[in-house]
């Protein structure tokens, strides 16, 4: 026989806030969620991420093992 009243209350319209602004509504066991970063502000998803590769992996391998082209 399953036990009653052991599961947390589920909120189908929990509000997610980032920097004080409502960013989305989700289902959660908490009614309000506060996050530091989400996909709308993360550099990877916004396209503002800069990858700096000062020396390529192939060139570094070639130099390390003395392989000339």
Q: Is residue 41 part of a domain?
A: no
Q: Is residue 42 part of a domain?
A: no
Quick one: which of 2, 3, 32 has its CA closest to 18? 32
pLDDT of residue 53: 62
Residue ranges in the chain whose pLDDT is less than 50? none
Q: Is residue 57 part of a domain?
A: no
Q: Is residue 9 part of a domain?
A: yes
Taking only the tens place, the pLDDT of each residue in 50-62 is 766 666 777 888 8
User: Would you say the pTM of this structure is higher than 0.75?
Assistant: no
pLDDT of residue 52: 66
- Domain boundaries, position 14: 1-36
Q: Is residue 62 part of a domain?
A: no
Number of domains forming the structure of the chain: 1
Q: Is residue 59 part of a domain?
A: no
**What are the residues whose beta carbons fall under 8 Å from the beta carbon of 56, sequence distance 6 or more?**
none
d(CA 12, CA 68): 62
d(CA 30, CA 46): 28
């Amino acid at each position: 026989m399953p036990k009653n009243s052991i599961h947390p209350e589920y909120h189908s319209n929990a509000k997610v806030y980032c920097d004080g602004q409502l960013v989305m509504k989700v289902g959660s066991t908490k009614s309000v969620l506060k996050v530091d970063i989400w996909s709308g502000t993360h550099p990877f998803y916004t396209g503002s991420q800069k990858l700096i590769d000062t020396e390529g992996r192939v060139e570094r391998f070639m130099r390390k093992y003395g392989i000339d082209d």
